[in-house]
Amino acid sequence: GARALRGAGAVARARAGQRIAVMDIGAMQWRFGQLGRISRVDLKLRDGVDRAAFRRALAEELERGFPGRFVVRQPDDGDQEQRNANLSRAYRVNLTVLALVALFTGAFLVFSTQALSVMRRRSQFALLRVLGLERRELLGQVLLEGAGLGVIGALLGVLGGYALAALALAYFGGDLGAGYFPGIRPQVQFTPVAATVFFLLGLGVALLGCLAPALDAARAQPAVAIKSGADEAALARLARVWPSLLCLALGALLAFAPPVLELPLFGYLAIALLLIGGIGLMPRLAAEAFRHMEQRLARWRRAPPILTLAVSRLANAPGQAAIALGGVLASFSLMVAMGIMVASFRESVDEWMGHILPADLYVRAASSGNTGFLTPEQQAALRTLPGVAQAHFLRTRPVSLSPERPSVVVIARDIDARDPGRLLYLVGQNAPIPPGARPAWVSEAMLDLYGARVGQVLKLPLGGAQAEFFVAGVWRDYANQAGSVVIRLADYRSLTGEAEVTDAALFAARGSSAGQLEEAVRTLPFGGALRTMSAGEIRAASLRIFDRSFAVTYLLEAIAIAIGLSGVAASFSAQTLARSKEFGMLRHVGVTRGQVLGILAFEGGFLTLLGVACGFALGLVISLILVYVVNPQSFHWTMQLHLPWTLLGSVAAVLVGASVLTALVSGRYALSGGPVRAVREDW
């Protein structure tokens, strides 16, 4: 029911967004029907008492007299804040890893751009070496170029990152729109230490990206490098297979490693190694694929000349092709992996809700707190409403199984022990319930966090003592990340003596609907204080929260794709400009301007198609690690694999189209100088 209270004033020093009310304990017990009940006792110790020793002694004494019922804490030890931080730690770590994914993709973009730039100026560097420039001076020059660009990019990145964070907090809040912290509007805090770390990360990525091209430019023999056509020889080291195979093997092994500090650190490392190994295999894969295509075209007598020229160029210059392929592979594989993971999670949540929400209308006494209950008389009134075929009741109660962890939710409901799968989404094996035992079904988080096992006994603090329950099975629970235990409502009532419930599930009789049931509930004397939602409304609201929660994931996916497209554009542009002499020679032997553009379009299309195919295979493997390793180790629940074919096909088509368009635009610019000027040497 509703209780009318008079506001007497404001609570001083309350936290921003904190919604609390304070009142006299006697008045509260009287008005809310809690006479004789308290939830906490605060102790003020005498001067000279050792607080830590007193806390240990009191905890031991209470544990002996009332096992598992009381928790002793100090007001300044930050236990609650630490438990809340641990609850959101996996989410924060995953967001950080997603940001590192964008950083990794950006590092490869720097590498590909610098590598192509160094190759384009290879003969110029060789001339400088002939004229007396030392090897270390040339190395310093290339690194200095990368550092200059890195400083500018890192500064812009730090400023842009803080600006985007401010916009995200302003429009979505601290929970990114998920609705976990309503009313709280945090502000971006500029911390010099964090900003410096971000700046150094950006600068370090730029230096690492140009380190390999700089070393290659410094080690090249001037007599060989000064000749035309030596570009592909400089990329010969990229074709080594054993480092890539070693990375793939290590990644496969680390994927099966256990979590560290309840975080899938080895899973993340496995994904990084798979990405590095996949990118390293691109030169060999490109050479084999395009040589095989070249052989097939040789048997086709009517093959178009521009198609033959394009495939021949790709088959005989796999190193340069691999640089462009790496950008496509990195961005598309990560997009595939994240897309499959999010789609799998969303579809699994939708399927889970469809299974655990069989009723037509759900009624709740209060959204939170421990004063909103449905009394036995109110339960009887709901059960006898016109149009109600069945009424199932449920009681939720948080219990503490470990002071270091958030409370576990005990769910007492009308459940048939002979067929628990009718109301629960069971996973794994079930155990037969021994005669006389109280059955319990634990969520997947209970297995990881508390070591619960099917067929064993689990103790729960209920009714002032430790009650023993037989773990009969495991169920999937996406609503309680900290863990939950389902028991029979009759067992809960016999242990605690409490007949009140918090929720009711109403099944409509034939000829009745959820809307009619809701109207009937509103006519009850206590109906105005109840919250009602149909199963469809709950599913729709939950999926909206899901989409808002993963909006940042979609955004980071889009950023990774944008970076990948930028890498493709930069690679094709640099390669096309570096091949101006080649295009000039083709024009001299009779190849028209349109045919050269056709060659470039075929090259861009074939390269991107191969990158998309390899990226899909690699992304699928990475998605398996995300779905079956990273997600269970982070959030302690499992899901089914679902592939979003529409999304994957759309992004693949965009990548191929963007690559072809970039190749054509770059080709038009490279051909604008004329064939004579293209083949002329200036020194």
Q: Highest mean pLDDT: which of 115-124, 203-212, 429-438, 556-565? A: 429-438
* Bridge partners for 427 per DSSP: 474
Tokens of 86: 């641990």
438 and 466 co-located in one domain: yes
251 and 193 co-located in one domain: yes
344 and 370 co-located in one domain: no
Residue finishing a domain among 494, 529, 564: 529
CA distance 496 to 493: 5
Apex CA 317: angle with CA 224 and CA 273, to 5°?
105
The tally of domains found in the chain comes to: 2
Q: Which amino acid is at 583?
A: F
Apex CA 593: angle with CA 591 and CA 594, to 5°?
100
Q: 184 falls in which pLDDT band (50, 70, 90)?
A: low
Of residues 346 and 550, more confidently modeled: 346
DSSP state at residue 162 = H
Residue finishing a domain among 529, 560, 594: 529
Residue 109: C-alpha distances to residues 149, 231, 328, 468 (Å): 13, 19, 10, 59
Question: Checking DSSP bridges between strand 439-443 and strand 465-475, what pairing results, if any?
Answer: parallel
Does residue 320 register a pLDDT over 90?
A: no
CA distance 315 to 296: 12
135 and 262 co-located in one domain: yes
> Worst-scoring range by mean pLDDT, 329-338, 354-363, 519-528?
329-338
Residues 375-389 have pLDDT tens digits of 899 999 999 998 889
CA distance 585 to 589: 7
Could you give the 3-state DSSP secondary structure of residue 486? strand
508 and 390 co-located in one domain: yes
Query: In 3D, which of 240, 215, 224 has the Cα closest to residue 322?
Result: 240
- Residue 271 in any domain: the answer is yes
Q: Percent of the chain at pLDDT above 70? A: 83
Does residue 176 register a pLDDT over 70?
A: no
- Residue 1 in any domain: the answer is no
Q: Which amino acid is at 509?
A: A
CA distance 184 to 170: 11
Residue 283: C-alpha distances to residues 62, 117, 178, 595, 612 (Å): 68, 19, 44, 26, 15
Q: 479 falls in which pLDDT band (50, 70, 90)?
A: confident
Q: 369 falls in which pLDDT band (50, 70, 90)?
A: low
Residues 410-462 have pLDDT tens digits of 999 988 888 999 899 999 888 899 998 999 999 999 998 898 999 999 999 88
Could you give the 3-state DSSP secondary structure of residue 352? helix
Helical ranges in 513-592 per DSSP H: 514-522, 535-549, 551-578, 580-588
Give the rounded distance of the alpha carbon of 6 from its chain centre. 46
Query: In 3D, which of 286, 338, 328 has the Cα closest to residue 563?
Result: 328
Give the rounded distance of the alpha carbon of 586 from its chain centre. 49
- Residue 568 in any domain: the answer is yes
> Stretch 598-609: mean pLDDT, rounded?
84
284 and 181 co-located in one domain: yes
> Worst-scoring range by mean pLDDT, 52-61, 149-158, 585-594, 649-658?
585-594
- Residue 548 exposed, middle or buried by CB count within 10 Å (0-12, 13-18, 19+): middle
550 and 523 co-located in one domain: no
- Residue 230 in any domain: the answer is yes
> Stretch 535-550: mean pLDDT, rounded?
82
Query: In 3D, which of 169, 185, 184, 180 has the Cα closest to residue 19?
Result: 184
Q: 173 falls in which pLDDT band (50, 70, 90)?
A: low
Range of the domain at 394: 366-529
CA distance 450 to 632: 15
Does residue 156 register a pLDDT over 50?
A: yes
Mean residue pLDDT across the chain: 81
DSSP state at residue 301 = T
CA distance 498 to 503: 14
Residue finishing a domain among 497, 529, 561: 529
CA distance 665 to 600: 10
Task: Give the per-residue pLDDT at 440.
Answer: 95
CA distance 102 to 564: 10
Residues 566-590 have pLDDT tens digits of 766 776 776 676 677 777 777 777 7
Does residue 486 register a pLDDT over 90?
A: yes
Q: Are 517 and 323 in contact (CB under 8 A)?
A: no
Residues 266-308 have pLDDT tens digits of 988 898 889 888 888 888 888 888 888 888 888 887 778 888 8
Of residues 236 and 654, more confidently modeled: 654
Does residue 337 register a pLDDT over 80?
A: yes
Residues in CB range of 176: below 8 A, 6 or more apart = 168, 548, 549, 551, 552
Q: Which amino acid is at 353?
A: M
- Residue 429 in any domain: the answer is yes
Q: Which amino acid is at 295?
A: Q
- Residue 71 in any domain: the answer is no
206 and 277 co-located in one domain: yes
Tokens of 188: 């971006």
CA distance 453 to 472: 9
Q: Percent of the chain at pLDDT above 90? A: 18
DSSP state at residue 630 = I
Q: Are 324 and 571 in contact (CB under 8 A)?
A: yes
Residue with the two structure tokens 């192509």: 116
CA distance 37 to 423: 33
443 and 346 co-located in one domain: no
329 and 257 co-located in one domain: yes
470 and 506 co-located in one domain: yes
> Stretch 311-338: mean pLDDT, rounded?
76
Does residue 367 register a pLDDT over 80?
A: no
Tokens of 375: 């009394």
Q: Are 567 and 115 in contact (CB under 8 A)?
A: no
502 and 558 co-located in one domain: no
Length of the chain in residues, anyone? 683
Helical ranges in 413-532 per DSSP H: 444-450, 489-496, 514-522
- Residue 4 in any domain: the answer is no
> Worst-scoring range by mean pLDDT, 72-76, 377-381, 637-641?
72-76
> Stretch 17-38: mean pLDDT, rounded?
85
> Stretch 33-62: mean pLDDT, rounded?
89
Query: In 3D, which of 640, 637, 627, 628 has the Cα closest to residue 446?
Result: 637
Measured over all CA atoms, what is the biggest interatomic distance in the chain, rounded to whole angstroms?
Answer: 101
Cα torsion angle, 42, 48, 52, 53, sign: negative
- Residue 37 in any domain: the answer is no
DSSP state at residue 481 = T
Does residue 683 register a pLDDT over 50?
A: no
